[in-house]
């Protein structure tokens, strides 16, 4: 049985901000798996738990896997997007600052380990219903693309490249780093999505001969950046397409009941889509990823995790 080596790091004793690292194995290659950089992270924390439980049942690991299931403890505890201590988003401040705020010191400690890893997987839960997908700088770095295409999830979406994000900073340093976004709510686990991600990561470990088991050849589609579709009216939004559908600009995504049809202004694959929901003018109801060779300039901000604009009056 493989036993995890636990390393607890106190970032701020006054607030109880402690990072718990769990390392299985000792050798190279080393994979760092991070979760819960914010409070909307129940499913990705559960996915980390499932992977760790599998590794515990093995006889050996050739290489090592380090987990940080909860990277931002206070934000996770409160279900918040940013730290309540300094109002900073952890995934905006890498590589951090040893003498900065709590969030910056947290990023600095994580970066110390990340900079020594061969591969980095940042797990996150999408706030909108989505197909589990990989986000990576696959068009910029071949080492990132090689890594992403070995993970058995259907879509690899081009990352925005925003500085301060761990996958951006790591890619610039020559480290193969990706994010995996999966379905789920802030306080509810989507177990099917968690199992899907667990199997994709375990299969990668098998392809690297780190663990035993039958490996499955990964197959996915490389896509451009996510582009946002917003509504221009208020009411009950009802989707009429499914996740993973490929649409042409002008095709209908859904409708606001008794009012307008909502059409996509973009060609591409539906990566995320609102369920039946009451929406306000300006709310985002879908994200579309352009197929390569058909990438267009987004008419809305590129930041993938921006909260939707809600105009109630």
Per-position DSSP letters for the chain, written without gaps between them:
---PEEEEEEEETTTTEEEEEEEEESSSSEEEEE--SSSS-HHHHHHHHHHHHHHHTSS--SSEEEEES-SSHHHHHHT-SS-TTT---GGGSTT--TTS-HHHHHHHHHHHHHTT-SEEEEEEE-SS-B--EEEE-TTT-HHHHHHHTTS--SEEEEP---TTSHHHHHHHTT-EEEEEEE---SS---HHHHHHHHHHHHHHHHHTTSS-S-------EEEEEEEEEE-SS-EEEEE-S-TT-EE-TT-EEEEETTS-EEE-SS-EEEEEE--SEEE-BT-EEEEEEEETT-----SS---TTPPPP-B--
pLDDT digits (tens, 9 = 90+) for 159-205: 999 999 999 999 999 999 999 999 887 678 999 999 999 999 999 99
- Residue 244 pLDDT exceeds 50: yes
> What integer pLDDT is reported at residue 307 of this predicted model?
45
Instruction: Please give the average per-residue pLDDT across 214-226, as a whole number.
Output: 93
pLDDT at residue 294 is higher than 50: no
Given a cut of 60, whether residue 309 has pLDDT beyond it is no
pLDDT of residue 127: 82
Tell me the average pLDDT across 78-97: 93
How many Å separate Cα 230 from the centre of its chain? 22
- What's the residue count for the chain? 313
110 vs 63: CA distance, rounded Å: 20
- 164 token code pair: 């301060």
For residue range 46-82, what is the model confidence (pLDDT) as tens digits? 999 999 999 999 999 999 999 999 999 999 999 898 9
Supply the pTM of this predicted model.
0.91
Question: Pick from 189, 181, 82, 167: which is nearest to 128 by CA?
Answer: 181
Residues 80-97, mean pLDDT to the nearest whole number: 94
Backbone angles phi, psi at 168, to 5 degrees: -70, -50
> Which pLDDT tens digit goes with each residue over 18-57?
999 999 999 999 999 999 999 888 999 999 999 999 999 9
- What's the pLDDT score for residue 1? 83
In this predicted structure, the answer to whether residue 290 has a pLDDT above a threshold of 90 is yes
All domains of the chain in start order, with CATH: 5-207 (3.40.630.10), 226-291 (2.40.50.100)
Using the predicted structure, report yes or no on whether residue 262 has a pLDDT greater than 50.
Answer: yes
pLDDT value at residue 186: 67
Judge residue 75's burial from the number of C-beta atoms within 10 Å of its C-beta, 0-12 exposed, 13-18 middle, 19 or more buried.
buried
Supply the mean pLDDT for the chain: 91
pLDDT of residue 241: 96
Confidence label for 297 from pLDDT (cuts 50, 70 and 90): very low
* Listed residue (296, 145, 300, 141) closest to 229, CA to CA: 300
Pairwise CA distance, residues 231 & 280, whole Å:
7
Tokens of 289: 């990823």
C-beta separation of 103 from 73 below 8 A: no
pLDDT over 90, % of the chain = 81
107-145 pLDDT, tens digit each: 999 999 999 999 999 999 988 899 999 999 999 999 999
Between 27 and 307, the more confident residue is: 27
Q: How confident is the model at residue 259 (pLDDT cuts 50, 70, 90)?
A: confident
Report the alpha-carbon distance of residue 68 to residue 56 in Å, rounded. 16
Residue 41 near residue 92 (C-beta atoms within 8 A): no
Cα–Cα distances (Å) from 306 to 127, 237, 262, in that order, read: 10, 20, 21
Can you tell me the distance from the alpha carbon of 105 to that of 97, in angstroms, rounded to the nearest whole number? 5
């Amino acid at each position: 049985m493989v036993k995890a080596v636990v390393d607890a790091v106190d970032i701020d004793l006054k607030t109880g901000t402690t990072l718990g690292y769990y390392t299985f194995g000792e050798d190279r290659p080393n994979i760092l798996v991070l979760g819960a950089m914010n409070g909307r992270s129940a499913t990705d924390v559960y996915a980390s738990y499932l992977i760790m439980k599998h590794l515990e049942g093995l006889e050996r690991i050739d290489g090592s896997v380090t987990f940080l299931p909860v990277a931002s403890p206070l934000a996770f505890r409160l279900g918040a997007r940013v730290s309540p201590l300094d109002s900073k988003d952890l995934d905006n401040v890498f590589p951090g600052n040893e003498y900065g705020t709590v969030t910056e010191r947290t990023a600095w400690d994580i970066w110390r380990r990340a900079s020594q890893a061969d591969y980095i997987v940042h797990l996150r839960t999408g706030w909108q219903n989505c197909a589990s997908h990989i986000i990576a700088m696959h068009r910029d770095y071949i080492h990132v693309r090689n890594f992403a295409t070995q993970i058995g999830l259907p879509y690899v979406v081009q990352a925005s490249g925003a500085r301060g994000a761990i996958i951006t900073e790591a890619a610039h340093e020559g480290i193969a780093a990706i994010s995996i976004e999966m379905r789920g709510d802030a306080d509810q686990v989507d177990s099917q999505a968690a199992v899907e991600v667990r199997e994709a990561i375990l299969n990668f470990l098998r392809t690297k001969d780190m663990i035993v088991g039958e490996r499955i050849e990964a197959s996915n589609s490389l896509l451009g950046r996510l582009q946002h579709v917003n509504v221009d009216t208020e009411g009950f939004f009802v989707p009429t397409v499914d996740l993973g559908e490929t649409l042409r600009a002008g095709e209908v995504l859904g409708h606001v009941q008794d009012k307008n049809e909502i059409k996509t202004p973009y060609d591409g694959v539906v990566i995320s889509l609102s369920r039946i929901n009451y929406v306000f003018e300006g709310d985002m109801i879908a994200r579309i990823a352009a197929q390569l060779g058909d990438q267009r300039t987004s008419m809305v901000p590129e930041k993938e995790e921006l909260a939707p604009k809600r105009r109630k009056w």
